[in-house]
Structure 1
Amino acid sequence: MTGHGHNEHNGHGHGHGHAVTIDADRRYLGGALALIVGFMAIEVVVGLAAQSLALISDAGHMLTDAVAIILALVAMRIAARPPRGGFTYGLKRAEIISAQVNGITLLLLSAYFIYEGVRRVIEPPHVEGLYVVVTGLAGIVVNLAATWLLSRANRSSLNVEGAYQHILNDLFAFTATTVAGTVVWLTGWAQADALAALVVAALMLKAGWGLVRDSGRVFMEAAPVGMNPAEIGQRAAALEHVVEVHDLHVWEVTSGYAALSAHILVTPGVDCHAVRLAAERLLHDTYGIEHTTLQVDHAPERPLPPGEADVHCADPHGPAHRGSSAV
């Protein structure tokens, strides 16, 4: 007897209230995007006029903020599309592709600003410190306004939270730029501008590496951070009547959307469906995994002869976890 179990719970509602929330989120994100893009254009012009690398690097950081918000808006629309054709999960992984692109962009920009920052520390150009201070203070105000708008949106959405963290991170960059501009303005020490640009580049490097690393784990079908497949297999094998758990796979479809599949062998004569329900309950309550596909079969009544393959799993992947019911 073979029992096949599938359990999926979708936590997103589709009622009128949910649509209103999505529309409000789009308005908040759209308002923050308009603020950032408008100020970014001004910052590039002032940065070039003042010969301030710190301002130009800040503008580069704001460009990634704008991209993060645009991707969040696009992901909201894509995530709402139902699966169709060959895309059986829908287009949920579009968020991961955008995170990878965003991360690589941050890494490339940080490399450029590190190169330029070091060059300007060695050969500092004349920098108009007052322009940098005024623009930096204005940038702090703009970022505070954008942060406030995004804080009103639904931050339980990973897209919105990612954009929010981007802009919050940019506040540190503007603070460093403003301090550097004040030093240049009051003391004439032009290297302060380049040092501030290096601080911004370091922030971009950290954020970029985090995005590339985390999105890379999803593309490589790695288990979600904090989930240990061996532990999950052992816990499932410890359930009553379970003989063995193998071919266990756990991965992320997209951020916060974990999925698991496994083959479970149970004591001959036991109700397969009851064991499947117990396993699903364990996975949901302990690990928060709501999308599971479990194949539950009775274990062979006699051990297989040497060299004879299991008819169900001729080539099982990963370790086999033996249960207390194993003989």
Structure 2
Amino acid sequence: MGAGHTHAHGTATGRHRRRLVAVLAITVSVVGVQVVGGLLSGSLALLADAGHMLTDATGIAIALTAVSLAGRPATKARTYGLQRAEILAALANALLLGGLAVWVIAEAVGRWQDPPEVATGVMLAAAAAGAAANGVSLLLLRGGQRESLNLRGAYLEVLGDLVGSVAVIVAGVVIATTGYTRADVIASVLIGLFILPRAWTLLRQVVDVLLEATPEGIDLDDVRTHIGAVPGVVDVHDLHAWTITSGVPALSAHVVVDDDCLDGGRSGEVLDALADCLGEHFDTDHCTFQLEPVGHARHERARHD
């Protein structure tokens, strides 16, 4: 006997769609300012920051497209609909972010021996505009970045942009006051090194979802203990937990119940108690349980703890 209980409605990213749209508009505007400023000033650090922000804008656009796809209803061919599109968008974002960091560092190394002259006035003005815009974007994304990989990715990227803008400002001040043009190259390398670990973290989280690793915050030993505490439950096996998309964890289990439960027609009560327990303690609404009589497990070809 099996049952699927309440499913999560919508996705975490979808709940913050308007904020993503606002951040996208801000980011695209600043990219234009920084590209023009970088070309006019000759600053690699400013162009690196602009490239990073362009990657942010691309990632946010992908995320918004994924939200629309994820909202489509399930079909016979895709029983979860297209909710995983959000995870694929986060994957593309992580790869773009990492590729940009490698390019910036390589370009900076090439400029070390012969750093070009930099127009610090234009450089500082464009960097200051970027820093202000990034600060606004961080405030918009702060509330939702714990709920969605896409929002978390966007938040981390904007945070990297803010650090990058600050690095450009510092480099501009150093060049203006000392004439040390390699400060622009150093700032570029620092921006690249700041981006790389964040891209890796996001990529690792995406891979965990795609490999259906146990979601963060869910301890299967604790889940097994809670299931075993439900009246009528004797044992649990084939216990699995995974993430469909950000904010939508799922769980399935084979639950062994005593004969009195089955003979007395209390299966529905046990299923309701299981769903209520996991929903309350583990915030997992998408649960599927197979109720089995004692001794049924030995008839299964494979058993997984």
Give yes or no for TM over 0.5. yes
CA distance 1:31–1:243, shift in 2 (3 Å)? closer
Tell me the distance in 1 between the aligned counterparts of 2:88 and 2:234. Answer: 40
CA distance 1:12–1:220, shift in 2 (3 Å)? closer
Q: Which residue of 1 aligns with 2:184?
A: 193
Q: Which residue of 2 aligns with 1:296?
A: 291
Q: Which residue of 2 aligns with 1:272?
A: 267
Equivalent in 280, 284, 296 of residue 279 of structure 2 = 284
- Residue 316 in structure 1 maps to residue 286 in structure 2: no
Tell me the distance in 1 between the aligned counterparts of 2:213 and 2:17. Answer: 31
Tell me the distance in 1 between the aligned counterparts of 2:143 and 2:280. Answer: 28
- Secondary structure of the 1:269 match is helix
Moved more, 95-104 or 260-269: 260-269
- Secondary structure of the 2:298 match is coil
Tell me the distance in 2 between the aligned counterparts of 1:314 and 1:145. Answer: 57
Q: Could you give the per-residue CA deviations for residues 152-186 of structure 1, whole angstroms, max 9, x where no partner exists? A: 99778634564344324422211111111111111
- Residue 254 in structure 1 maps to residue 217 in structure 2: no
Q: Which residue of 1 aligns with 2:8?
A: 10
- 1:288 positional shift: 0.6
Q: Could you give the per-residue CA deviations for residues 264-288 of structure 1, whole angstroms, max 9, x where no partner exists? A: 1112222333322222222111111
CA distance 1:122–1:243, shift in 2 (3 Å)? farther
Q: Indicate conservation of the 8 Å contact 1:269/1:298, yes or no.
A: no
Q: What RMSD, in angstroms, separates the aligned Cα atoms of the two structures?
A: 2.7
Q: Indicate conservation of the 8 Å contact 1:272/1:297, yes or no.
A: no
Q: Indicate conservation of the 8 Å contact 2:66/2:89, yes or no.
A: no
Which entry has the higher C-alpha Rg, 1 or 2?
1
CA distance 1:53–1:284, shift in 2 (3 Å)? same
CA distance 1:8–1:265, shift in 2 (3 Å)? same
Tell me the distance in 2 between the aligned counterparts of 1:105 and 1:115. Answer: 16
Look up the equivalent residue of 1:77 and give its one-letter code. Answer: S
Q: Indicate conservation of the 8 Å contact 1:83/1:90, yes or no.
A: yes
Within a 5 Å distance, the mapping from 1:79-118 to structure 2 comes to 79-118=70-109
- Residue 62 in structure 1 maps to residue 50 in structure 2: no
Tell me the distance in 1 between the aligned counterparts of 2:188 and 2:67. Answer: 33
Equivalent in 40, 53, 67 of residue 31 of structure 2 = 40
CA distance 1:145–1:238, shift in 2 (3 Å)? closer
User: Aligned residues, how many?
Assistant: 298
Normalised to the residue count of structure 2, the TM-score between the two structures is 0.87
Look up the equivalent residue of 1:5 and give its one-letter code. Answer: A
Tell me the distance in 2 between the aligned counterparts of 1:264 and 1:85. Answer: 27
Q: Could you give the per-residue CA deviations for residues 117-172 of structure 1, whole angstroms, max 9, x where no partner exists? A: 23434543322222211211122233344456x35997786345643443244222
Question: Where do 5+ consecutive residues of structure 1 fail to align?
Answer: 14-20, 320-327
Moved more, 273-282 or 261-270: 273-282
- Secondary structure of the 2:259 match is coil
Moved more, 95-104 or 262-271: 262-271
Normalised to the residue count of structure 1, the TM-score between the two structures is 0.81
Q: Which residue of 1 aligns with 2:204?
A: 213
Q: Indicate conservation of the 8 Å contact 1:280/1:292, yes or no.
A: yes
